[in-house]
């Protein structure tokens, strides 16, 4: 499977009371990867929501990724996204198997991406590129780094952080395969607007 397109990421606060409605709206517009990102410690709710998202993703042929939690990903037989403090990649690959999608946060550091590639990452994520409502304190990353990454890496490249329909085009021009978006997608006033935005993000990637 070619990892290119919109990478939708959920947010428990933003999607409170409308998680499945807004996620399904995004899936209708086209989502390559959906990440379940919930920073709470309510294990029962996390399992319930992740199972519901897995079932929804199956209907739309979208791959589900669990943020931070390789054990939960293994339980649901889906992928995982690991940051630099979320545990090592090699055991996660052993746990999830060779076909699982495993992503790695690399901030603005090519060395981290080279290391992730060696350890079996499926894609590498750089960011943040713009001001982010969801994670304002994340370290910043430049478009120039994307040029270097495109030359040196043979993995799909994901960009994250403050991405909207108005600022995403340069990221694609600099070689990004996956646009990872929270607010720029799910911050919409209606489900219909989420679908419209998802379609528009995918149009940007059709180059
Ligand atoms: C696609 C993608 N890229 C980066 C991140 C950030 O991961 P991390 O640094 O572990 O931060 P948290 O999201 O866990 O707060 C991500 N989740 N997804
Ligand atoms: C979860 C996350 N990680 C980032 C990083 O730079 O690693 S930025 C970010 C937040 C992405 O949400 P939004 O699209 O609302 O800015
Ligand atoms: Mg993390």
Rg value, the chain, Cα: 16
Please state, for a pLDDT cut of 70, what percent of the chain lies above it: 100
Let me know how long the chain is. 207
The pLDDT of residue 20 is: 98
Which residue, 182, 158, 207, is CA-closest to 198? 182
Separation between Cα atoms, residue 147 and residue 77, nearest integer Å: 34
- pLDDT of 162-203, one tens digit each? 999 999 999 999 999 999 999 999 999 999 999 999 999 999
**Count of other CB atoms within 10 angstroms of residue 206:** 8
Read off the pLDDT band of 68 (50, 70, 90). Answer: very high
Which residue, 136, 100, 125, is CA-closest to 7? 125
| pLDDT average, residue stretch 28-40 | 98
What are the Cα distances from residue 86, in Å, to 66, 71, 81, 145? 12, 12, 9, 24
| Interval between CA 41 and ligand 1 midpoint (Å) | 17
User: Which positions make up the binding site?
Assistant: 35-39, 67-68, 86, 105, 132-135, 162
Residue 2 has pLDDT above 90, yes or no: no
The pLDDT of residue 111 is: 98
Angle of helix 43-60 relative to helix 19-29, nearest 10 degrees, comes to 30
Residue that wins the pLDDT comparison between 154 and 207: 154
Residue 54 has pLDDT above 90, yes or no: yes
The pLDDT of residue 177 is: 98
Contact 20, 60 (CB under 8 A): no
Ligand nearest to the CA of 7: 1
Q: Identify which of 38, 67, 113, 137 to mutate to test ligand 1's pocket (most ligand atoms within 8 A of the CB).
A: 67
Separation between Cα atoms, residue 81 and residue 150, nearest integer Å: 20
Threshold 0.95, pTM exceeds: yes
Which token pair is 127? 């960011």
The pLDDT of residue 3 is: 97
Contact 173, 205 (CB under 8 A): no
* CA geometry: angle 134, 26, 97, nearest 5 deg: 80
Residue 1 has pLDDT above 80, yes or no: no
| pLDDT average, residue stretch 13-39 | 98
| Interval between CA 88 and ligand 3 midpoint (Å) | 12
């Amino acid at each position: 499977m070619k990892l290119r397109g919109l990478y939708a990421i959920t947010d428990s606060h933003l999607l409170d009371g409308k998680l499945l409605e807004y996620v399904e709206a995004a899936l209708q517009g086209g989502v390559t990867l959906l990440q379940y990102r919930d920073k709470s410690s309510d294990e029962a709710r996390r399992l319930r929501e992740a199972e519901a998202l897995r079932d929804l993703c199956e209907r739309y042929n979208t791959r589900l990724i669990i943020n931070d939690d390789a054990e939960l990903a293994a339980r649901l037989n889906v992928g995982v996204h690991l940051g630099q403090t979320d545990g090592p990649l090699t055991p996660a690959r052993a746990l999830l198997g060779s076909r699982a999608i495993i992503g790695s946060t690399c901030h603005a550091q090519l060395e981290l991406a080279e290391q992730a590639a060696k350890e079996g990452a499926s894609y590498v994520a750089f960011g943040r590129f713009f001001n982010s409502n969801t994670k304002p304190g994340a370290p910043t990353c430049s478009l120039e780094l994307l040029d270097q990454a495109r030359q040196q890496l043979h993995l799909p490249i994901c960009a994250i952080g403050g991405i909207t329909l108005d600022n995403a085009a340069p990221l694609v021009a600099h070689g990004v395969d996956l646009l990872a978006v929270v607010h720029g997608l799910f911050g919409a006033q209606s489900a219909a607007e989420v679908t419209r935005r998802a379609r528009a993000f995918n149009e940007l990637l059709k180059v």
